[in-house]
Amino acid sequence: MTSTDDPGMGTPRAEGPEAADADEAQPSPGAPPALLLAAFEGWNDAGGAATQALEIIADAWDADVVHELDPQDYHDFQVNRPHVGVGPDGRRTLTWPSTTISVARAPMTGRTVVLVQGIEPSFRWRDYCDEILDVAEGLGVGTVVGIGALLADVPHSRPIPVQTTSNDTQVQALLGVEGSDYEGPSGIVGVLAHMAGERDLHTLSVWAAVPHYVAQPPSPKATLAILLRLEEFVGEPLPVGDLPEDSRAWQAGVDELAGQDPDVAEYIQQLEEAKDTAELPEASGEAIAREFERYLRRRDIRGDKGDKGGPPGPAGR
């Protein structure tokens, strides 16, 4: 793909059909600024929960790819190897690790939602984030949401904890979220958010806690928890497909396996007791209010009474 510097935007833009796709993806006059959701395979994606959430949105909302980063620039192919397969025509294919930027329209509000889906790069992280943010600014993005999942001491039989943080004071005031006090190694989600903030884009992070004793993907219960939390920022119900049923089946399967090992069952019981004790104050306040708001949103869409105005969320730049 070739790109040129657009003097009107000051960002690299694609030529040819991809340029037309990018132009069509611009927010319409009067629409809320575009929202970017980003998730990456690897260190930031326990149980594959974060990347699966974006895959579901992209499929359900028919997202169109407007930009693809060249894997040659960012990946060590001994770490993330290309995959050999057979195409529909019977010919051998070679698929390289990639990062795509696609655009969808939220069906109720008409808001432009930009999806960044890829694999955490091996090197040149700053250039990688710059390329993503250049395209994002050209698409009118005002807010960047980094999505991740981590392994934690949480029970599979309780609601999956999802933490939302932001070091953007405007986002904190508007959404009532706290800043992150984490200090330590960062993944590409954290780096992208930091560099977006340096460009005066609004930023926040959404992280789900996946039970560490069932770390292998898929993790449908964590994916469902992420999507339900993202609804608060997108401003309308998100597609969840078969996730509710898959989550129940996943939990039942873990219950069955745990029941075969008394030590594991005892450990899970300890986690459950600790979780229940910690959640008692919240159960009567914030959690109930959040569930009620979600119920109202889904009731509205079933009755075709959805709010056609801008969704709640930080004002874009």
pLDDT at 32: 79
Higher pLDDT pick, 297 / 11: 297
Report yes or no on 193 lying in a domain: yes
What pLDDT digit, counting tens, does each position of 127-181 carry?
999 999 999 999 999 999 999 999 999 999 999 999 999 999 999 999 899 999 8
5 Cβ contact list (under 8 Å, min separation 6) = 11, 12, 13
Are 177 and 165 in contact, with CB atoms under 8 Å apart? yes
Q: Is the pLDDT of residue 19 over 50?
A: no
Tell me which residue of 132, 139, 107 sits closest to 188, measured CA to CA.
132
d(CA 189, CA 186): 8
d(CA 95, CA 92): 10
The band of 95, judged by pLDDT with boundaries at 50, 70 and 90, is very high
33 Cβ contact list (under 8 Å, min separation 6) = 27, 140, 141, 142, 143, 315, 316, 317
Report yes or no on 309 lying in a domain: no
Tell me which residue of 222, 201, 241 sits closest to 39, measured CA to CA.
222
Distances (CA, A) of 208 to 144, 187, 225, 273, 286: 17, 15, 7, 20, 18
Query: Which amino acid is located at 70 in the chain?
Result: D
Please tell me the total count of domains within the chain.
1
Report yes or no on 10 lying in a domain: yes
Q: Residue 126 is inside which H or E element, if any?
A: helix 125-138
Q: Is the pLDDT of residue 282 over 70?
A: no
Q: Residue 41 is inside which H or E element, if any?
A: strand 34-41
DSSP 139: T
**Residue 224: how many CB atoms within 10 A of its CB?**
25
Q: Is the pLDDT of residue 5 over 60?
A: no
Helix 220-234 crosses helix 286-302 at what angle (to 10 degrees)? 80
SS3 208: strand
CA dihedral (177, 179, 181, 184) in degrees, to 10, reads: 110
Higher pLDDT pick, 1 / 302: 302
Least confident among 208-217, 236-245, 296-305: 296-305
DSSP 25: T
**Residue 264: how many CB atoms within 10 A of its CB?**
14
Report yes or no on 16 lying in a domain: yes
d(CA 38, CA 54): 8
Buried b (16+ CB within 10 A) or exposed e, 94-109: eeebbbebbbbbbebb
DSSP 316: P
Report yes or no on 157 lying in a domain: yes
The band of 278, judged by pLDDT with boundaries at 50, 70 and 90, is confident
| Beta-carbon-side half-sphere exposure of residue 133 (alpha carbons within 13 Å) | 25
Domain span including residue 31:
3-302
What pLDDT digit, counting tens, does each position of 217-261 carry?
999 999 999 999 999 889 899 999 999 999 999 999 999 999 999
For the full predicted model, state whether its pTM sits above 0.75.
Answer: yes
Report yes or no on 242 lying in a domain: yes
Report yes or no on 139 lying in a domain: yes
Tell me which residue of 146, 147, 137, 140 sits closest to 112, measured CA to CA.
140
DSSP 141: E
**Sign of the CA dihedral with 216 first, then 218, 222, and 226 last:** positive
> What CATH number should be reported for the domain holding residue 269?
3.40.50.10900
Report yes or no on 230 lying in a domain: yes
d(CA 267, CA 253): 17
**Residue 251: how many CB atoms within 10 A of its CB?**
16
Higher pLDDT pick, 279 / 270: 270
Query: Average pLDDT over the chain, rounded to whole?
Result: 85
